[in-house]
Amino acid sequence: MKRLSLITLVFVTVYCPVFSQITGKWKTIDDGTGEPKAIVEIFERSGKYFGKVLKTFPKPGKSPDPICDKCDPSDSRYKQKIISMEILRDLQKNGEYFENGNILDPENGKVYRCKVWREGNELKVRGYWGPFWRTQTWQRTD
């Protein structure tokens, strides 16, 4: 029994931080079309986690360097370029989840409460608006 506990402890200590880590580059996938939308880099700053857009995959006829013209005018991101914009803000690690932050959807300009977690090599990103929620699956790119 003690041998099994030691093996479990080693596994949790060595492998679990890898599965709970969200920093790095992620390809966002449109949950409606399955098409890639952007590359977002998630990073840690002062104990919180943020994500900024590094690249977009615009549809034909759309600007390769769009601005957030649908953002709320009181938001500092209003009329700013989406590339290099922080769309994830203030996530805090809570066990295997990262939560209590928010995410901006530049397509509609709305800001949602956000919760993020890893499932293998995928990142689950859930935005909440009241009792409603939507989850996207992002793919690691680095």
Residue 128 and residue 112 in contact, taking contact as beta carbons nearer than 8 Å: yes
Number of domains into which the chain is organized: 1
Q: Is residue 13 part of a domain?
A: no
What residues contact residue 132 under an 8 Å CB cut-off, 6+ apart?
none
Q: Is residue 109 part of a domain?
A: yes
Q: Is residue 104 part of a domain?
A: yes
Q: What is the mean pLDDT of the chain?
A: 88
Q: Domain range for residue 55? A: 22-140
Find the mean pLDDT for residues 18-47. Answer: 90
Q: pLDDT tens digits, residue range 97-142?
A: 999 999 999 989 999 999 999 999 999 999 999 999 999 999 999 7
Q: Is residue 12 part of a domain?
A: no
Q: Is residue 8 part of a domain?
A: no
Rounded distance between C-alpha atoms, residue 34 and residue 84, angstroms? 23
Q: Is residue 3 part of a domain?
A: no
Specify the range with the lowest mean pLDDT, choosing from 2-6, 86-90, 91-95: 2-6
C-alpha R_g of the chain: 17
Q: Is residue 15 part of a domain?
A: no
Asked whether the predicted pLDDT for residue 4 surpasses 50, the reply is no
Q: Quote the pTM value.
A: 0.84
Read off the CATH number of the domain in which 118 is found: 2.40.128.520
Calculate the alpha carbon distances from 65 to 26, 98, 124 in Å.
19, 29, 26
Q: Is residue 5 part of a domain?
A: no
Asked whether the predicted pLDDT for residue 56 surpasses 90, the reply is yes
Q: pLDDT tens digits, residue range 11-20?
A: 443 344 444 6
The torsion angles phi and psi of 60, rounded to 5 degrees, stand at -55, 135
- The percentage of the chain sitting over the pLDDT mark of 90, rounded to a whole number, equals 75
